[in-house]
Amino acid sequence: MKNPSDLPDRQSDNGTEGVDRRVLLRGAATLAATSLVASDALARDFGRNAEPQRYPDPDIVVIDPKRFKAKVGNTAIKRLYTGCLWAEGPAWNAAGQYLVWSDIPNNRQLRYLDDDGHISEQFHKPSNEANGNTFDFEGRQIGCERTRLVRFEHDGSLTALAEQANGKQLNGPNDVVVHPNDKSIWFTDPGYGAISIYEGQRANTGTNQPYQKEAVYRLDALTGQVSKVADEPFKPNGIAFSHDYKKVYVCDTGITHYPNAKNIVWQYDLNGDKLSNPRTLIDMTLDGKSGFPDGMRVDTDGNIWVGAGWVGDGYDGVQVFAPDGDRIGQIKLPETCANVCFGGRKRNRLFMTASQSLYAVYVETQGAHNC
């Protein structure tokens, strides 16, 4: 028997050529493919071989033209790397001109070299499922590992700075900053590394709860003493000093586990080694939708750049707020943004760790702090 594909097309009753079923199928497939291409064309391609983005970049949104002056008309958002499971903790090393960031579930930290764009995929591996990072004023990396706060010394050794607070094991440090005057280290301890085997290990209680009440801590650089400075946030996440070091901002992502929590950024007054006057500075609600405020940095004008997401297109990415808490700008990304930092030779390049990828964009401002 002949293969059906070898049979001639059948004739119609009026003698004209009929349409073979195979032709119809091929046509339908072509139409479907064309539709997919048209649909994909509506979504921005951040791939390595993507077409250039027309200026000005439409995903850099100016909400308040008078206060958001950081948009550059002839620059575009670039995806520098993808392949992470959950990208977090970007920090810029000015001396080495490189960025380090964490990929928590893959138990590694990566490095981006500014001179040629090289990515070291195993910069620190294993990383003890490290999360947030910063560099102190001696250029040493400080990292929030799942079980402790650590510092990488110039000779290559590793120093454990804090493993306990209040006589109990830390839940899992998340984000960290260093004060320039007394070199004290301030960090958050929400405990995400103690409630999930995907990003860590569950606490011994087996109740999906952290080891102790979530809080913000200060580590004294001279004595090594760890002191609790705030516990109002349900789950304190990102932390940042204001540009003049008079305030401290703390992101609250407690809604992941506490029904009474809200997606807000707290503001505290900073008085030496104490925090006071806790209050809500930022409400993350935008067009009736509210997402998590995760990590953040502050620019030289005092504006607060917050990595945000878990809402979807039009929300996920970076949201920018004036010092009074008003939303003034937005950078839309195709993925949830966990954290940001300023880097580059002029400290005017915003690096964004977003879910599986690392993005960057030049802005017309600079980071207020060392990384």
| 43-60 confidence digits (pLDDT tens) | 799 988 889 999 999 999
In a domain, 368, yes or no: no
| 298-323 confidence digits (pLDDT tens) | 999 999 999 999 999 999 999 999 99
Beta bridge pairs of residue 343: 349
* Distance in angstroms (rounded) separating the CA atoms of residues 282 and 262: 11
Over residues 169-182, the mean pLDDT reads 96
Catalytic residue among 136, 294, 299, 316: 294
Q: Is 294 a residue of the active site?
A: yes
Which of 79, 87, 120 lies closest to 105, judged by CA?
Answer: 87
In a domain, 370, yes or no: no
Residue-level pLDDT at 250: 99
- Do residues 90 and 340 lie in contact, with contact meaning Cβ atoms separated by under 8 Å? yes
Over residues 153-181, the mean pLDDT reads 96
| 181-230 confidence digits (pLDDT tens) | 999 999 999 989 888 899 988 876 555 678 899 999 999 999 999 999 99
Over residues 69-89, the mean pLDDT reads 97
Residue written as token pair 């391609």: 45
Which of 159, 132, 158 lies closest to 145, judged by CA?
Answer: 132
In a domain, 246, yes or no: yes
| pTM over cut 0.95 | no
- Do residues 338 and 307 lie in contact, with contact meaning Cβ atoms separated by under 8 Å? yes
Count CB neighbours of 315 within 10 A. 20
* Distance in angstroms (rounded) separating the CA atoms of residues 175 and 190: 9
Which of 334, 323, 371 lies closest to 351, judged by CA?
Answer: 371
* Distance in angstroms (rounded) separating the CA atoms of residues 14 and 16: 6
In a domain, 113, yes or no: yes
> Which of 78-92, 193-207, 312-326, 354-368 is predicted least confidently?
193-207
In a domain, 166, yes or no: yes
Which of 337, 340, 341, 319 lies closest to 328, judged by CA?
Answer: 319
How many whole angstroms from its chain centre is CA 319? 12
The total number of structural domains that make up the chain: 1
In a domain, 16, yes or no: no
In a domain, 5, yes or no: no
Q: Taking CA 138 as the corner, what is the angle to CA 323 and CA 187, rounded to the nearest 5 degrees?
A: 50
**pLDDT band at residue 34 using 50, 70 and 90 as cut-offs:** very low
Which of 123, 185, 130 lies closest to 156, judged by CA?
Answer: 123
**Which domain CATH number covers 224?**
2.120.10.30
- Do residues 175 and 195 lie in contact, with contact meaning Cβ atoms separated by under 8 Å? no
Beta bridge pairs of residue 83: none
In a domain, 20, yes or no: no
Which of 92, 67, 61, 81 lies closest to 347, judged by CA?
Answer: 92
If you average pLDDT over every residue of the chain, what do you get? 89
DSSP state letter for 367: B
Q: What residues are designated binding site for a divalent metal cation?
A: 88, 237, 294
| 104-130 confidence digits (pLDDT tens) | 999 999 999 999 999 999 999 999 999
Residue 170 domain boundaries: 66-362
Q: What residues are designated binding site?
A: 88, 174, 237, 294
Q: What residues are designated binding site for substrate?
A: 174
